[in-house]
């Protein structure tokens, strides 16, 4: 945990509802996978009524699409069914969510540009902040032009980060 994650955890711990938005570029690979992994954790922990999970992309190229087929296949092997339909992030998301989690520095820059107020901007904490430092990844790499190992790496990082995020904010 670092300064940002500590601060957010203090602010959100004990809240009746926690609303989290995962964000990547296309909303067809990394963020819908994060969404599926996090949803599976809160379902398994029996607290889906407290946690509201969603995902979006900074780009609009894939609006309405299911996640990339390769991402769905790799996720399904681990027990996650990814059924989200891609949508673009919008300014209103800063009202609708408590925590907005970009996958990489480019997603983070785009979100900071979109944030309407300093309070809104303070809701942005990158995925890497939740991932064990031992992974040595400071972002979740875009798997779109990679092979199978790129998709497996995304799932490894997300399973680690989502579990640590859940543990940090659970009551």
Residues at the site binding ligand 4NP, with contacts judged by CB under 6 A: 24-30, 61, 142, 144
Nearer to ligand 4NP, 34 or 169 (CB): 34
Minimum Å gap between C-beta 154 and ligand 4NP is: 8
Does 142 participate in catalysis according to the annotation? yes
Of the candidates 19, 24, 29, 72, the residue annotated as catalytic is 24
Nearest to 54 by CA among 79, 74, 35: 35
Of the candidates 19, 29, 30, 54, the residue annotated as catalytic is 30
Does 60 participate in catalysis according to the annotation? no
Does 68 participate in catalysis according to the annotation? no
Minimum Å gap between C-beta 8 and ligand 4NP is: 23
Sign of CA dihedral 148, 150, 152, 154: negative
Q: Which residue is nearest to ligand 4NP (CB)?
A: 26
**Measured between alpha carbons, how far is 82 from 91 in angstroms, rounded to an integer?**
25
Q: At what angle do helices 3-12 and 148-169 cross, to 10 degrees?
A: 50
Nearer to ligand 4NP, 22 or 97 (CB): 22
Q: Are 28 and 62 in contact (CB under 8 A)?
A: yes
Alpha-carbon distance values, 67 to 13, 28, 33, 111, 150 (Å): 31, 4, 8, 21, 15
Nearer to ligand 4NP, 20 or 169 (CB): 20
**Measured between alpha carbons, how far is 11 from 44 in angstroms, rounded to an integer?**
24
Nearer to ligand 4NP, 142 or 159 (CB): 142
Q: Which residues does the annotation mark as catalytic?
A: 24, 30, 142
């Amino acid at each position: 945990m670092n300064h940002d994650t500590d601060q957010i955890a203090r602010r959100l711990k004990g809240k009746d509802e926690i609303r989290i938005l995962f964000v990547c570029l296309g909303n067809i690979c990394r963020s819908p996978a994060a969404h599926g992994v996090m949803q599976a954790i809160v379902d398994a922990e029996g607290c889906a009524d407290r946690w509201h999970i969603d995902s979006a992309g900074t780009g609009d190229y894939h609006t309405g699409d299911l996640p990339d087929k390769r991402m769905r296949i790799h996720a399904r092997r681990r027990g996650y069914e990814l059924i989200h339909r891609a949508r673009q992030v919008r300014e209103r998301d800063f009202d609708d969510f408590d925590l907005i989690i970009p996958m990489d520095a480019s997603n983070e820059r785009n979100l900071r540009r979109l944030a309407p107020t300093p309070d809104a901007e303070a809701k942005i904490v990158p995925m890497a902040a939740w991932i064990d430092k031992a992974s040595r990844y400071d972002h979740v790499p875009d798997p779109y032009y990679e092979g199978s190992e790129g998709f497996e790496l995304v799932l490894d990082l997300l399973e680690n980060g989502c579990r640590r995020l859940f543990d940090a904010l659970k009551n």
